[in-house]
Amino acid sequence: MELKITCIPGDGIGPEIVSEAKKVLDAVAKKYGHTMNYTDILMGGASIDAYGVPLTDEAIQTARDADAVLMGSIGGNTTTSPWYKLPPNLRPEAGLLALRKALNLFANLRPAVLYEELAEACPLKEEISSAGFDMLIMRELTGGLYFGERKTIEENGVMKAIDTLTYDENEIRRIAIKGFDIAMKRRKKVTSVDKANVLDSSRLWRKVVEEVAKDYPEVTLEHMLVDNCAMQLVKDPAQFDVILTENMFGDILSDEASMVTGSIGMLASASLNDTKFGLYEPSHGSAPDIAGKDIANPIATVLSAAMMLRYSFDLDREADAIEAAVKKVLQDGYRTVDIMSEGCTQVGCRQMGDLLAERIGL
């Protein structure tokens, strides 16, 4: 199969980690007989330096022409970098927002996995962490409170701010379908999270999710209120497979779930539209403090590449091979500095990429 991939190395550690992800993808291509066809584009600070804007129309078109986009991370030190003296619409993050909008990426996926070998980093009590967990938060990304009408007014001498939380049934249906489709590739359980005891938008959410569930008889659906979900994530995270939720709840719960793993350099993410197209990137930022030192952990980006193979190309066997390589490297005791622990062998970003590539298909 020929895979047309647009790469965005980005800023900070971005180029280093994307290069290692490509190394692993190339090993997959060699082993399973695929052709990786990469085209790089600039975004964020790198694009500002080259073209004066964080994303050009040509770059958007190149991304559109691909089957998927693999990204490192963008942005610099927000206090010292000259990029942050520019108006907000010309700063690095504006490039990412523009790309998400241009590609209509409405579904955000953030897996949170606790690897047995990294259980020490988990801040939960051992009796909870010992069960392990492997969940995926599916968050609606383009609707809800963050995109509703808002205004600040003065009424009778009192300032008043208004934000509105709006969802229509089509927006809910398309994210629910994504959630159930992805549950079918996993352990076939969806926990739909809402606040249906209070919010009308949540009551509509629940109704539409139930309608969609009828098309997926193999998937178990449960509903959970968001406050309870926040508690269950730290009390019994092993119960979750796919958590399906709206924009703001997903924003908060996905950060909580990632913190529970304790390892920022290990967390992948994906943003999808209603075709197979997706943007795949690590959950962490561009880590300008460690850029260029060959010490960044490339695993989050490598795992994002695995998600790309699974969700944009339906190459489940190949994605499994990457995930197995990550487990094997950890079992073999290799660690980058951010996940280092006693008795393990510390390696740099490039060596971690080599070790992962060597283990593809072993």
Considering only the stretches 32-40, 182-190, 292-300, 325-333, report the one whose residues sit in contact with ligand NAD under the rule CB under 6 A.
292-300
Taking Cα atoms as reference points, which of 178, 71, 111, 38 lies closest to residue 323?
111
Q: Which amino acid is at 99?
A: L
Is residue 79 involved in binding ligand NAD (CB under 6 A)? no
Whole-number minimum distance, CB 75 to ligand NAD, in Å?
2
Is residue 311 among the annotated active site residues? no
* Dihedral angle computed from the Cα positions of residues 119, 255, 317 and 309, in that order, rounded to the nearest 10 degrees: -140
Does 338 help bind ligand NAD (rule: CB under 6 A)? yes
Interacting residue with ligand NAD among 9, 15, 54, 75 (CB under 6 A) = 75
Q: Find the length of the chain.
A: 362
Min CB(110)–ligand NAD separation in Å: 12
- In the complex with ligand NAD, the residue whose CB is nearer, 176 or 305, is 305
- E strand map for the chain: 2-10, 35-40, 68-73, 107-114, 133-140, 150-155, 158-163, 189-194, 220-225, 242-245, 268-272, 278-282, 334-335, 345-346
Closer Cβ to ligand NAD, 76 or 179, answer by number: 76
Q: Known catalytic residue: 255?
A: yes
For this structure, is 280 an active site residue? no
Name the helix (H) or strand (E) containing 110.
strand 107-114
Best CA proximity match to 138, nearest among 43, 51, 66, 246? 246
Does 332 participate in catalysis according to the annotation?
no
Nearer to ligand NAD, 75 or 179 (CB): 75
Of 88, 289, 342, 362, the residue at the interface with ligand NAD (CB under 6 A) is 289
Asked whether 247 and 139 are in contact (CB, 8 A), the reply is yes
Q: Does 179 participate in binding ligand NAD (rule CB under 6 A)?
A: no
Give the 3-state secondary structure of residue 192.
Answer: strand
Among residues 255, 294, 338, 354, the one annotated as catalytic is 255
142 touching ligand NAD, by CB under 6 A: no
Q: Judged by CB under 6 A, does residue 297 bind ligand NAD?
A: yes
Out of 6, 258, 286, 304, point to the residue binding ligand NAD (CB under 6 A).
Answer: 286
Residue 146 a catalytic site member:
yes
Is the distance from CB of 43 to CB of 99 less than 8 angstroms? yes
Nearer to ligand NAD, 99 or 196 (CB): 99
* Adjacent-strand bridge partners of 191: 222, 243
Per CB under 6 A, the segment of 33-41, 162-170, 270-278, 285-293 that binds ligand NAD is 285-293
Cβ closest to ligand NAD, residue 96 vs residue 183: 96
Using alpha carbons only, what angle is made at residue 233 by residues 229 and 239, rounded to the nearest 5 degrees?
Answer: 90
225 interacts with ligand NAD by CB under 6 A: no
Q: What are phi and psi of 140, to 5 degrees?
A: -70, 135
Quick one: which segment of 34-42, 154-162, 182-190, 282-290 binds ligand NAD (CB under 6 A)? 282-290
> Would you give the DSSP letter of residue 66?
S
Residues between 98 and 137 that touch ligand NAD (CB under 6 A): none
Q: What are phi and psi of 110, to 5 degrees?
A: -130, 105
Torsion angle of C-alpha atoms 348, 354, 360, 362, degrees rounded to 10: -100
DSSP single-letter state for residue 147: T
Does position 261 bind ligand NAD by CB under 6 A?
no
Query: CA 318, 70, 38, 356 torsion: positive or negative?
Result: negative
Q: Which residues bind ligand NAD (CB under 6 A)?
A: 13, 73-76, 78, 93, 96, 264-265, 281, 284-290, 296-297, 300, 338
Known catalytic residues? 146, 195, 227, 251, 255
